[in-house]
Structure 1
Amino acid sequence: MDEERRRLLDAESRDESPAGLMSEQEAYMSKVKNGKLYLSTFVSVLGPMSFGSVLGYSSPAIPELSRISDPRLRLDATQASWFGSIVTVGAALGGLLGGWMVDKIGRKLSLMFCVLPFVFGFAVIIAAQSVWMLHAGRALTGLASGVTSLVVPLYISETAHEKVRGSLGSCVQLMVVLGILGVYLAGLFLDWRWLAICCSVPPTLLMVLMCFMPETPRFLLSQGKRREAEEALRFLRGPDAPVEWECARIEDACDGQGSSLQLSDLRDAGVWKPLLVGVMLMLFQQLTGINAIMFYAEDIFQQAHFKESDLASVIVGLIQVVFTAIAALIMDKAGRKVLLIISGVAMTISTAAFGIYFYLMSKASGSSVSDLQSRAAADAHPELAWLALASMAVFISGFAIGWGPVPWLIMSEVFPVKVRGFASAVVVLTNWSMAFVVTKTFQDMMNVLTSAGTFWLFSSVCLLNVVFTMVFIPETKGKTLEQIEAIFRGTSGP
């Protein structure tokens, strides 16, 4: 590579904008066609739709399996808790497996291989003759979910350019909530076996369609496969784009990083800072209580004295879809940091209000806050139901517009290529481990802290989310992956 091009690439990594560089960028982007990029993104996000169906499956299935006539399959309270939470154990292991796979066999093959535990897991559930088979099937689908939650954001971030990376990255969470909503809707009409059959369709489509999609250019270049990288870029950017320019830019960044991760690299600010940010984002995301709320959506509404709790869950899913779609549309305009702050404030207020609702219900019924089975208070004060409905709606919409999609998007943006697999695995392991802890202990928290106290605890965490975002999260909107890396290395301001 000649010195002039290296100078321009170095200038870009420092977020400088000389006229020559900007004109070259604009000339390049004017020739880019996004049609096949959108197609590859759509195919890849069938993975998040699949693990959305896994997350949502427990909500309609647990009530049915808890009252099923077959004693071999009937779930007691403890078994039902494991049925909901064992997915997160599998997903945590899947995060570790996915981190190894993306570096060894690439993003595309990792995504295709994760289909196998999806389909096999649902097949075990469909054929289940005992509770342990139900749990085994859930663990396998959880394993696939963990791999998918790591691979798909990486695949999208490494195939998309900076103009649309935020919107396309937000489609990951959008497809998750579409999967959840689809299961909620299907659960109104189908029993648990037919529901599992329906959940097997998206991963099957993913396996077939992904055969025709390219590997990411950054992974190919990290393996020294420049010709294949140019072919992938030509597929993603269209036949008219001079992809050699973008290929050279990515190649320069890859060349400067070395070939493999060393232990000493963890002392590099460009590695440990984004890793710390990613881990904290996932900790805070799960400590809002979102997975506990979604896993037990129907139970929560039953405890809140809603007679049509399954329909209420569908409404929750619909709210998630609408506001996640809004986030995807405005992500590249509003920015990641602003949406995180707005989201955190909305969740702080709504969880506090939900705690007030449960507190008032306990006072009205004259029972302890954890005694939520009595309907006397609901009959005496039906107007309090609106407080619960409004609180849940604000929480779900707030989460969907910020703390749902943005942590996954930032995870896919901030890590250098050579540590992307390892760092992403750590972050995904953190996310699903905390999801397990919160989901498995949710009922215990409701009993020990009371329902009101549990939601007030979630409210306090949401407030901490806001403070953390304002102090530590840099804005990545409109920046290339190389410019984002420079921010953490301290060679460019946020």
Structure 2
Amino acid sequence: MPEKIINGDAENNDGKDALLENNSKNDGQDLLWKHSLKQILAACIAHCLVIQAGINMTFSAVLLPQLNADDSDIVIDLHQASWIASCVTAALPLGSLIIGPLMDKFGRKNMCMFTTVPFAISWSLHIFATNVWFIYVARIVAGFGAGLSTVGLVYVSEISHPKYRPMLLTFNSVGVTLGILITCVLGYGLHWTSMVKIFLALVVVTGIGVYFLPESPYWLMVFKNDKKKLADSLQWLYPETNIFIQQYDRIVYSTYKEEDSQIKSKLQHMKENLLFCKSPIVWKPLAILLIIFIFQQFSSAYVIVFYAVDIFKRIGAGFKHIGFIDEYVALILLGGVRFLMAIILAMISKRVGRRLLMFISSVGMIITSFALALLMQLTENTHETGLMNVDGTVAIVLVLAYICFSSFGWLVIPWTLIGELLPVKVRGVLGGLLISIVYILMFLLVKVAPFLMESVSLVSIFYGLSVINLVGFAFLYKFLPETLGKTFEDIATFFDEKIRR
């Protein structure tokens, strides 16, 4: 089948426009579940990379108490503990910055395989650690790997049919939250040295799984112009002949101008790439994504997760009267909420648009943050012990609800939009640059949060969050396009008036 199609496709320019038009009409047809199972499997395997990222976010919460125990072979002080917790976050931007050029040069699948290497090295260093410096290096390498793992989003966005792309991209959040939940659960009964062996085995299994996946068809066409491998990749993803032909034609004919271009000098390529980056289909989505991520970080949902126990304690005496909740239970509860919401989001995202999900997330965060601030303010003005007990319980529920609503949109969808809004040609480089900026901002906010909570009351902070979320909602309403069921060509048309004409 691939040979027949290759021999008769782009070599003949006659009828291209007709085929493109026909393809556009047919692309919206329903793709049955039985025809999409392979791409769903590929997406799940690729998203196993971010399970490791989720593990590394919470591993220090289990590791540090055990290192501080009297029977620990590695003795640490408070200063060393803070470095163990933070150095993994500091290393994230480096990995996400370099993954863009690497995935463009060597391929999406190959870099997914390469991403498992730093994780494997990190857990191996943990296994053989004899002093704190082993752990420092292991954590830095793990953070670098977590930055590289963003290649999974790009890979999944390019192997997915438009009908299933929104759902498959949200699996990324399922993977992260699953990693958080696994770490919290294992931390209850296992020593950290046993845990890292399990994590190493998981990395090895993931690498083997990625090896059997096809390369991204878009990368094969845009960066390699290899129609033979393109056909092989698509035939793996779409075993049904009619759908395979439809997807093959759409990718080939949507990029035929790049196929027919002559070999140019590096300087000419640089000029063309710079000119391309100035086009509306690049700078507009890039600007929208950057502003959305700024609102995401300043909504402080990540900060609340990092400092959940401390925030619970600061809310008031009510926390002390919920006997079954301690620090570990609170952490598992938050992880469970995020994991549950990630699964729900994945199930409904195939039918519910990005805009609506983000709107629901924004409205929920506005209400819960404002209600929490108002509740704490009222609590500060009363000295009735009974009311304090009730308020503490309600306040904790509101914090969990805030995380719940943030996990329904703001914490998940902006990451998936990178793989949908940015053009394929610059998705790797600009996506990596954007994620690096976001990680740097996240690191700064997490670092400054304790000092902010010491100098500003939680009432003022949550009132401020309600205002930030309200402005974020207004921005989404004005500028965020809907991507549900849209091809990359449809999305480019939204941003460029010349294409619409």
TM-score interval for Structure 1 and Structure 2 normalised by the shorter chain: 0.7 to 0.9
| Counterparts of 1:486 and 1:9, CA distance in 2 | 18
Map of 1:176 onto structure 2: 176
Q: How does 1:54-133 map to 2 (within 5 A)?
A: 54-66=56-68, 70=72, 73-76=75-78, 78-133=79-134
Structure 1 SS opposite 2:203: helix
Question: Does 2:16 correspond to 1:6?
Answer: yes
Map of 1:162 onto structure 2: 162
Question: Does 2:326 correspond to 1:315?
Answer: no
Partners of 1:49 and 1:177 within 8 A in 2: yes
CA separation of 1:248 and 1:184: change in aligned 2, threshold 3 A: same
User: Residue by residue, what CA displacement relative to the aligned partner does 1:292-332 show, whole Å, maximum 9, x if unpaired?
Assistant: 22233344345454551211221111111111111111112
- TM-score, normalised to structure 1, is 0.87
Map of 2:266 onto structure 1: none
| Counterparts of 2:457 and 2:73, CA distance in 1 | 32
| Counterparts of 2:422 and 2:405, CA distance in 1 | 27
Partners of 1:299 and 1:309 within 8 A in 2: no
Alpha-carbon shift at residue 210 of structure 1 (Å): 0.8
Map of 2:48 onto structure 1: 46
Q: How does 1:464-475 map to 2 (within 5 A)?
A: 464-475=471-482
* Aligned residue among 345, 348, 352 for 1:334: 352
CA separation of 1:435 and 1:127: change in aligned 2, threshold 3 A: farther
Partners of 1:67 and 1:74 within 8 A in 2: no
Question: Does 2:344 correspond to 1:343?
Answer: no
CA separation of 1:181 and 1:30: change in aligned 2, threshold 3 A: closer
| Counterparts of 2:135 and 2:380, CA distance in 1 | 36
Moved more, 103-112 or 305-314: 305-314
Alpha-carbon shift at residue 255 of structure 1 (Å): 3.5
Partners of 2:66 and 2:72 within 8 A in 1: no
Alpha-carbon shift at residue 289 of structure 1 (Å): 1.5
Map of 1:15 onto structure 2: none
| Counterparts of 1:327 and 1:484, CA distance in 2 | 22
| Counterparts of 2:189 and 2:50, CA distance in 1 | 23
Aligned residue type for 1:85: S
Question: Does 2:292 correspond to 1:281?
Answer: yes
CA separation of 1:297 and 1:386: change in aligned 2, threshold 3 A: same
Alpha-carbon shift at residue 250 of structure 1 (Å): 1.2
Alpha-carbon shift at residue 37 of structure 1 (Å): 1.0
Map of 1:204 onto structure 2: 204
- Note the aligned Cα RMSD (angstroms): 2.8
Question: Does 2:152 correspond to 1:152?
Answer: yes
Alpha-carbon shift at residue 272 of structure 1 (Å): 0.7
User: Residue by residue, what CA displacement relative to the aligned partner does 1:234-288 show, whole Å, maximum 9, x if unpaired?
Assistant: 1001143452432232123334457966222221111111111222222222222
Alpha-carbon shift at residue 363 of structure 1 (Å): 6.2
Partners of 1:274 and 1:414 within 8 A in 2: yes
Aligned residue type for 1:343: S
| Counterparts of 1:360 and 1:136, CA distance in 2 | 48
Q: Give identity over the alignment, percent.
A: 25
* Aligned residue among 423, 427, 445 for 1:416: 423
Alpha-carbon shift at residue 209 of structure 1 (Å): 0.9
Map of 2:495 onto structure 1: 488
CA separation of 1:309 and 1:119: change in aligned 2, threshold 3 A: same
Count residues in correspondence: 472
Aligned residue type for 2:483: T
Moved more, 456-465 or 414-423: 456-465
Aligned residue type for 1:264: L
CA separation of 1:303 and 1:129: change in aligned 2, threshold 3 A: farther
| Counterparts of 2:60 and 2:457, CA distance in 1 | 24
| Counterparts of 2:72 and 2:227, CA distance in 1 | 59
Map of 1:33 onto structure 2: 35
Partners of 1:73 and 1:129 within 8 A in 2: no
Alpha-carbon shift at residue 88 of structure 1 (Å): 2.1
CA separation of 1:264 and 1:221: change in aligned 2, threshold 3 A: same
- TM-score, normalised to structure 2, is 0.86
Q: How does 1:331-410 map to 2 (within 5 A)?
A: 331-356=349-374, 381-410=388-417
Partners of 1:118 and 1:141 within 8 A in 2: yes
Structure 2 SS opposite 1:161: coil
Map of 2:5 onto structure 1: none
Aligned residue type for 2:454: N
Structure 1 SS opposite 2:351: helix
Partners of 1:82 and 1:440 within 8 A in 2: no
> Unaligned stretches of 5+ in structure 1?
12-19, 366-376
Map of 1:233 onto structure 2: 234
CA separation of 1:289 and 1:227: change in aligned 2, threshold 3 A: same
Moved more, 190-199 or 281-290: 190-199
Alpha-carbon shift at residue 380 of structure 1 (Å): 8.5
> Unaligned stretches of 5+ in structure 2?
1-9, 264-268
Structure 1 SS opposite 2:349: helix
Moved more, 190-199 or 52-61: 190-199
Moved more, 221-230 or 126-135: 126-135
CA separation of 1:397 and 1:30: change in aligned 2, threshold 3 A: closer
Partners of 1:37 and 1:160 within 8 A in 2: yes
Map of 2:7 onto structure 1: none
Aligned residue type for 2:307: Y
Partners of 1:56 and 1:294 within 8 A in 2: no
User: Residue by residue, what CA displacement relative to the aligned partner does 1:166-205 show, whole Å, maximum 9, x if unpaired?
Assistant: 1111111111111111111112222333333333333221
Map of 1:369 onto structure 2: none
Question: Does 2:473 correspond to 1:462?
Answer: no
Alpha-carbon shift at residue 125 of structure 1 (Å): 3.1
| Counterparts of 1:451 and 1:309, CA distance in 2 | 20
Moved more, 60-69 or 48-57: 60-69
| Counterparts of 1:81 and 1:298, CA distance in 2 | 16
Aligned residue type for 1:473: L
Moved more, 131-140 or 339-348: 131-140
Partners of 1:282 and 1:431 within 8 A in 2: yes
Partners of 2:28 and 2:485 within 8 A in 1: no
* Aligned residue among 265, 276, 288 for 2:276: 265
Aligned residue type for 1:108: K
Alpha-carbon shift at residue 30 of structure 1 (Å): 6.5
Alpha-carbon shift at residue 212 of structure 1 (Å): 0.7
Alpha-carbon shift at residue 395 of structure 1 (Å): 1.2
Structure 2 SS opposite 1:155: helix
| Counterparts of 2:352 and 2:196, CA distance in 1 | 38
Structure 2 SS opposite 1:458: helix
| Counterparts of 1:96 and 1:387, CA distance in 2 | 42
Alpha-carbon shift at residue 102 of structure 1 (Å): 0.7
| Counterparts of 1:442 and 1:81, CA distance in 2 | 14
